[in-house]
Amino acid sequence: MATKSTYDRSNLTSVDGLIAVVTGGGTGLGLIIARTLEANGATVFITGRRQDKLDEAVKSAQHGRIHAIQGSTTSHDDLQRAVDFVTEKTAYIDLLVNNAGQTTFDSSPNARPKPTGQSSVAEIRDYYFNYRPQELWRDTLETNIAAVFTTSMAFLELLDAGNKRRASELPKSQIIVIGSTGGLTRFTDSFIYNASKSGVHHLIKNLGGFLVPHDIRTNIIAPGWFPSDMTAAVSKAYESTGGVMPRELVPQQRMGNPDELAGTVLYLASKAGGFCNGATLVIDGGFLQNHAGP
Protein backbone atom coordinates (compact mmCIF):
# COMPACT_ATOMS: atom_id res chain seq x y z
CA MET A 1 0.00 0.00 0.00
CA ALA A 2 2.85 2.36 0.81
CA THR A 3 3.64 4.74 -2.02
CA LYS A 4 7.18 6.07 -2.22
CA SER A 5 7.51 9.83 -2.00
CA THR A 6 10.24 11.96 -3.47
CA TYR A 7 9.22 14.74 -1.08
CA ASP A 8 9.44 17.01 -4.05
CA ARG A 9 7.19 20.05 -3.61
CA SER A 10 6.34 20.42 -7.29
CA ASN A 11 5.10 16.84 -7.36
CA LEU A 12 3.30 17.11 -4.02
CA THR A 13 1.29 20.19 -4.93
CA SER A 14 0.93 19.60 -8.65
CA VAL A 15 -2.46 20.31 -10.21
CA ASP A 16 -1.09 19.89 -13.71
CA GLY A 17 -3.75 18.54 -16.07
CA LEU A 18 -6.52 18.79 -13.47
CA ILE A 19 -9.99 19.70 -14.76
CA ALA A 20 -11.88 21.99 -12.39
CA VAL A 21 -15.13 23.92 -12.23
CA VAL A 22 -15.21 27.03 -10.05
CA THR A 23 -18.60 28.68 -9.50
CA GLY A 24 -18.47 32.44 -9.09
CA GLY A 25 -14.99 32.29 -10.61
CA GLY A 26 -15.19 35.70 -12.29
CA THR A 27 -14.32 37.79 -9.24
CA GLY A 28 -12.88 37.76 -5.73
CA LEU A 29 -11.97 34.46 -4.10
CA GLY A 30 -13.30 32.41 -6.99
CA LEU A 31 -11.03 34.27 -9.40
CA ILE A 32 -8.02 33.71 -7.15
CA ILE A 33 -8.87 30.00 -7.03
CA ALA A 34 -9.36 29.79 -10.80
CA ARG A 35 -6.14 31.67 -11.55
CA THR A 36 -4.14 29.61 -9.07
CA LEU A 37 -5.27 26.33 -10.58
CA GLU A 38 -4.84 27.54 -14.16
CA ALA A 39 -1.41 29.08 -13.56
CA ASN A 40 -0.29 25.68 -12.30
CA GLY A 41 -1.48 23.64 -15.25
CA ALA A 42 -5.19 22.99 -14.65
CA THR A 43 -8.05 23.68 -17.04
CA VAL A 44 -10.73 25.68 -15.25
CA PHE A 45 -14.36 26.31 -16.14
CA ILE A 46 -15.73 29.33 -14.31
CA THR A 47 -19.37 30.30 -13.90
CA GLY A 48 -21.11 33.52 -12.93
CA ARG A 49 -24.01 35.73 -13.95
CA ARG A 50 -22.06 38.74 -15.24
CA GLN A 51 -20.52 38.09 -18.64
CA ASP A 52 -18.15 41.09 -18.40
CA LYS A 53 -16.57 39.76 -15.20
CA LEU A 54 -16.19 36.32 -16.75
CA ASP A 55 -14.57 37.82 -19.86
CA GLU A 56 -12.04 39.71 -17.72
CA ALA A 57 -11.27 36.51 -15.81
CA VAL A 58 -10.70 34.59 -19.05
CA LYS A 59 -8.26 37.31 -20.17
CA SER A 60 -6.32 36.95 -16.92
CA ALA A 61 -5.47 33.29 -17.67
CA GLN A 62 -1.76 32.56 -18.02
CA HIS A 63 -2.13 29.65 -20.42
CA GLY A 64 -5.52 30.32 -22.03
CA ARG A 65 -7.15 27.54 -20.01
CA ILE A 66 -9.86 29.47 -18.15
CA HIS A 67 -13.22 28.97 -19.89
CA ALA A 68 -16.33 30.95 -19.00
CA ILE A 69 -19.86 29.63 -18.74
CA GLN A 70 -22.37 32.38 -18.03
CA GLY A 71 -25.20 31.37 -15.73
CA SER A 72 -26.58 31.23 -12.22
CA THR A 73 -26.07 28.41 -9.78
CA THR A 74 -29.69 28.90 -8.73
CA SER A 75 -30.99 28.02 -12.21
CA HIS A 76 -31.51 24.37 -13.12
CA ASP A 77 -31.33 25.21 -16.84
CA ASP A 78 -28.09 27.16 -16.45
CA LEU A 79 -26.52 24.34 -14.46
CA GLN A 80 -27.53 21.77 -17.07
CA ARG A 81 -26.08 24.01 -19.79
CA ALA A 82 -22.82 24.26 -17.83
CA VAL A 83 -22.68 20.48 -17.43
CA ASP A 84 -23.37 20.02 -21.16
CA PHE A 85 -20.61 22.49 -22.05
CA VAL A 86 -18.04 20.73 -19.85
CA THR A 87 -19.20 17.31 -21.04
CA GLU A 88 -18.58 18.37 -24.62
CA LYS A 89 -15.13 19.77 -23.82
CA THR A 90 -13.69 17.17 -21.43
CA ALA A 91 -16.40 14.65 -20.43
CA TYR A 92 -15.09 14.58 -16.82
CA ILE A 93 -13.91 16.80 -14.00
CA ASP A 94 -11.59 16.22 -11.04
CA LEU A 95 -12.70 19.09 -8.87
CA LEU A 96 -15.80 21.20 -8.28
CA VAL A 97 -15.32 24.34 -6.21
CA ASN A 98 -18.65 25.65 -4.94
CA ASN A 99 -17.52 29.21 -4.37
CA ALA A 100 -20.45 31.37 -5.58
CA GLY A 101 -22.11 33.08 -2.68
CA GLN A 102 -23.78 36.26 -1.59
CA THR A 103 -23.58 38.47 1.44
CA THR A 104 -26.36 40.22 3.30
CA PHE A 105 -24.41 43.38 3.98
CA ASP A 106 -26.70 46.40 4.11
CA SER A 107 -25.16 48.85 1.65
CA SER A 108 -28.24 50.99 1.09
CA PRO A 109 -27.40 54.73 1.27
CA ASN A 110 -30.60 55.33 3.24
CA ALA A 111 -30.05 52.46 5.60
CA ARG A 112 -31.47 52.79 9.07
CA PRO A 113 -28.58 52.67 11.52
CA LYS A 114 -27.79 49.04 12.14
CA PRO A 115 -28.72 48.18 15.72
CA THR A 116 -26.07 46.99 18.17
CA GLY A 117 -26.61 44.88 21.27
CA GLN A 118 -27.00 48.17 23.14
CA SER A 119 -29.82 49.40 20.88
CA SER A 120 -33.32 49.40 22.26
CA VAL A 121 -35.52 46.40 21.69
CA ALA A 122 -37.78 48.62 19.56
CA GLU A 123 -34.84 49.61 17.31
CA ILE A 124 -33.74 46.01 16.91
CA ARG A 125 -37.28 44.93 16.06
CA ASP A 126 -37.78 47.79 13.63
CA TYR A 127 -34.55 47.07 11.76
CA TYR A 128 -34.89 43.33 11.45
CA PHE A 129 -38.68 43.01 11.26
CA ASN A 130 -39.80 46.14 9.34
CA TYR A 131 -36.74 47.24 7.41
CA ARG A 132 -34.78 44.19 6.29
CA PRO A 133 -36.70 42.44 3.51
CA GLN A 134 -37.75 38.86 4.11
CA GLU A 135 -36.56 37.98 0.58
CA LEU A 136 -32.98 38.37 1.83
CA TRP A 137 -33.42 35.15 3.78
CA ARG A 138 -34.81 33.36 0.74
CA ASP A 139 -32.15 34.60 -1.69
CA THR A 140 -29.23 34.04 0.66
CA LEU A 141 -30.23 30.55 1.71
CA GLU A 142 -30.98 29.68 -1.90
CA THR A 143 -27.59 30.87 -3.17
CA ASN A 144 -25.38 29.89 -0.24
CA ILE A 145 -26.94 26.52 0.60
CA ALA A 146 -29.48 25.16 -1.87
CA ALA A 147 -27.48 26.06 -4.99
CA VAL A 148 -24.36 24.42 -3.54
CA PHE A 149 -26.36 21.22 -3.25
CA THR A 150 -27.91 21.38 -6.72
CA THR A 151 -24.59 22.36 -8.32
CA SER A 152 -22.93 19.38 -6.64
CA MET A 153 -25.68 17.11 -7.92
CA ALA A 154 -25.46 18.57 -11.43
CA PHE A 155 -21.74 17.78 -11.69
CA LEU A 156 -21.84 14.42 -9.90
CA GLU A 157 -21.55 12.26 -13.00
CA LEU A 158 -18.62 14.30 -14.32
CA LEU A 159 -16.86 13.90 -10.94
CA ASP A 160 -17.53 10.17 -11.12
CA ALA A 161 -16.16 10.08 -14.68
CA GLY A 162 -13.01 11.76 -13.31
CA ASN A 163 -12.58 8.94 -10.80
CA LYS A 164 -13.03 6.30 -13.47
CA ARG A 165 -10.31 7.61 -15.77
CA ARG A 166 -7.70 8.66 -13.17
CA ALA A 167 -4.83 6.39 -12.07
CA SER A 168 -5.88 4.65 -8.86
CA GLU A 169 -2.99 6.02 -6.78
CA LEU A 170 -4.03 9.62 -7.45
CA PRO A 171 -6.49 11.48 -5.17
CA LYS A 172 -10.19 10.89 -5.77
CA SER A 173 -12.57 13.48 -7.23
CA GLN A 174 -13.45 16.27 -4.86
CA ILE A 175 -16.06 18.89 -4.08
CA ILE A 176 -14.67 21.91 -2.20
CA VAL A 177 -17.11 24.37 -0.67
CA ILE A 178 -16.09 27.89 0.22
CA GLY A 179 -17.80 28.23 3.57
CA SER A 180 -16.90 30.93 6.06
CA THR A 181 -15.79 31.55 9.60
CA GLY A 182 -19.17 33.33 9.71
CA GLY A 183 -20.66 29.85 9.87
CA LEU A 184 -18.49 28.96 12.86
CA THR A 185 -18.84 32.01 15.07
CA ARG A 186 -21.48 33.66 17.23
CA PHE A 187 -19.54 36.91 17.20
CA THR A 188 -20.77 38.90 14.18
CA ASP A 189 -24.36 39.99 13.68
CA SER A 190 -24.51 38.94 10.00
CA PHE A 191 -27.31 36.64 11.08
CA ILE A 192 -28.61 35.53 7.70
CA TYR A 193 -25.19 35.08 6.11
CA ASN A 194 -23.83 33.26 9.16
CA ALA A 195 -26.83 30.94 9.25
CA SER A 196 -26.37 30.22 5.54
CA LYS A 197 -22.68 29.39 5.96
CA SER A 198 -23.31 27.30 9.04
CA GLY A 199 -25.98 25.48 7.04
CA VAL A 200 -23.68 24.81 4.12
CA HIS A 201 -20.95 23.51 6.45
CA HIS A 202 -23.43 20.99 7.81
CA LEU A 203 -24.81 20.20 4.38
CA ILE A 204 -21.42 19.36 2.93
CA LYS A 205 -20.52 17.09 5.88
CA ASN A 206 -23.89 15.39 5.51
CA LEU A 207 -23.41 15.00 1.75
CA GLY A 208 -19.81 13.86 2.24
CA GLY A 209 -20.91 10.81 4.19
CA PHE A 210 -23.49 10.00 1.56
CA LEU A 211 -20.91 10.14 -1.23
CA VAL A 212 -18.36 7.87 0.49
CA PRO A 213 -19.47 4.78 -1.49
CA HIS A 214 -18.82 6.73 -4.68
CA ASP A 215 -15.33 7.94 -3.74
CA ILE A 216 -16.21 11.61 -4.15
CA ARG A 217 -14.48 13.61 -1.41
CA THR A 218 -15.94 16.76 0.14
CA ASN A 219 -13.92 19.42 1.93
CA ILE A 220 -14.55 22.94 3.16
CA ILE A 221 -12.39 26.03 3.14
CA ALA A 222 -13.62 28.48 5.77
CA PRO A 223 -12.01 31.85 5.10
CA GLY A 224 -11.99 34.77 7.46
CA TRP A 225 -11.92 38.23 5.89
CA PHE A 226 -10.25 38.49 2.48
CA PRO A 227 -10.49 41.59 0.24
CA SER A 228 -13.21 41.25 -2.41
CA ASP A 229 -16.33 43.03 -3.61
CA MET A 230 -18.16 41.29 -0.77
CA THR A 231 -15.91 42.75 1.90
CA ALA A 232 -15.34 46.21 0.34
CA ALA A 233 -16.98 47.83 3.39
CA VAL A 234 -14.59 46.01 5.76
CA SER A 235 -11.57 47.10 3.70
CA LYS A 236 -12.91 50.67 3.74
CA ALA A 237 -13.40 50.60 7.51
CA TYR A 238 -9.66 49.93 7.97
CA GLU A 239 -8.40 52.22 5.20
CA SER A 240 -7.35 54.87 7.69
CA THR A 241 -5.10 52.39 9.54
CA GLY A 242 -3.53 51.09 6.33
CA GLY A 243 -5.49 47.85 6.68
CA VAL A 244 -4.34 47.19 10.25
CA MET A 245 -7.17 45.62 12.24
CA PRO A 246 -7.46 45.40 16.02
CA ARG A 247 -5.79 42.32 17.48
CA GLU A 248 -8.96 41.57 19.48
CA LEU A 249 -10.79 41.25 16.16
CA VAL A 250 -8.21 39.41 14.05
CA PRO A 251 -5.07 38.26 15.89
CA GLN A 252 -2.95 38.74 12.75
CA GLN A 253 -4.42 42.25 12.44
CA ARG A 254 -5.18 42.09 8.73
CA MET A 255 -7.28 40.52 6.04
CA GLY A 256 -6.01 37.46 4.19
CA ASN A 257 -3.96 37.75 1.03
CA PRO A 258 -4.27 35.87 -2.29
CA ASP A 259 -1.24 33.64 -1.62
CA GLU A 260 -2.83 32.31 1.56
CA LEU A 261 -5.94 31.22 -0.32
CA ALA A 262 -3.94 30.02 -3.33
CA GLY A 263 -1.71 27.82 -1.17
CA THR A 264 -4.71 26.31 0.62
CA VAL A 265 -6.34 25.49 -2.71
CA LEU A 266 -3.16 23.95 -4.12
CA TYR A 267 -2.86 21.81 -0.98
CA LEU A 268 -6.43 20.53 -1.14
CA ALA A 269 -6.53 20.05 -4.91
CA SER A 270 -3.23 18.18 -5.20
CA LYS A 271 -1.70 14.96 -3.89
CA ALA A 272 -0.69 16.85 -0.75
CA GLY A 273 -4.32 17.05 0.33
CA GLY A 274 -5.34 13.70 -1.14
CA PHE A 275 -6.16 12.20 2.27
CA CYS A 276 -8.57 15.05 3.19
CA ASN A 277 -12.21 14.05 3.13
CA GLY A 278 -14.60 15.84 5.47
CA ALA A 279 -12.01 18.46 6.45
CA THR A 280 -12.66 22.10 7.28
CA LEU A 281 -9.62 24.26 6.62
CA VAL A 282 -9.94 27.54 8.47
CA ILE A 283 -7.84 30.41 7.08
CA ASP A 284 -8.74 33.45 9.15
CA GLY A 285 -5.63 35.02 10.72
CA GLY A 286 -6.76 33.62 14.07
CA PHE A 287 -10.23 35.20 14.07
CA LEU A 288 -11.77 32.05 15.56
CA GLN A 289 -9.09 31.96 18.26
CA ASN A 290 -10.89 35.00 19.65
CA HIS A 291 -14.42 34.36 18.44
CA ALA A 292 -15.08 30.63 18.21
CA GLY A 293 -18.64 29.38 18.08
CA PRO A 294 -20.44 26.95 20.35
Ligand X SMILES: NC(=O)c1ccc[n+]([C@@H]2O[C@H](COP(=O)([O-])OP(=O)(O)OC[C@H]3O[C@@H](n4cnc5c(N)ncnc54)[C@H](OP(=O)(O)O)[C@@H]3O)[C@@H](O)[C@H]2O)c1
Interacting residue ranges for ligand X, rule: CB under 6 A: 23-24, 26-30, 47-50, 53, 72-74, 99-102, 143, 147, 178, 180, 223, 225-226, 228-231
We find the least distance from the C-beta atom of residue 33 to ligand X, in angstroms, to be 9
We find the least distance from the C-beta atom of residue 230 to ligand X, in angstroms, to be 3
We find the least distance from the C-beta atom of residue 220 to ligand X, in angstroms, to be 10
> Smaller CB distance to ligand X: residue 216 or 250?
250
Helix (H) or strand (E) holding 48: strand 43-48
Helix (H) or strand (E) holding 160: helix 156-165
> Smaller CB distance to ligand X: residue 79 or 161?
79
Here the contacts of 130-137 (C-beta below 8 Å, separation 24 or greater) are 132/106, 136/104, 136/192, 137/192
> Smaller CB distance to ligand X: residue 227 or 274?
227
100's CB contacts (< 8 A; 6+ apart) are 23, 24, 30, 47, 48, 73, 143, 147, 151
> Smaller CB distance to ligand X: residue 48 or 171?
48
Handedness of CA 224, 229, 233, 235 (dihedral sign): positive
Helix (H) or strand (E) holding 67: strand 66-70
We find the least distance from the C-beta atom of residue 24 to ligand X, in angstroms, to be 3
* Residues 149 and 207 sit within 8 Å (Cβ to Cβ): yes
Whole-number Å distance between alpha carbons of 113 and 4: 60
> Smaller CB distance to ligand X: residue 82 or 161?
82
We find the least distance from the C-beta atom of residue 225 to ligand X, in angstroms, to be 4
We find the least distance from the C-beta atom of residue 223 to ligand X, in angstroms, to be 4
> Smaller CB distance to ligand X: residue 101 or 115?
101
262's CB contacts (< 8 A; 6+ apart) are 32, 33, 35, 36
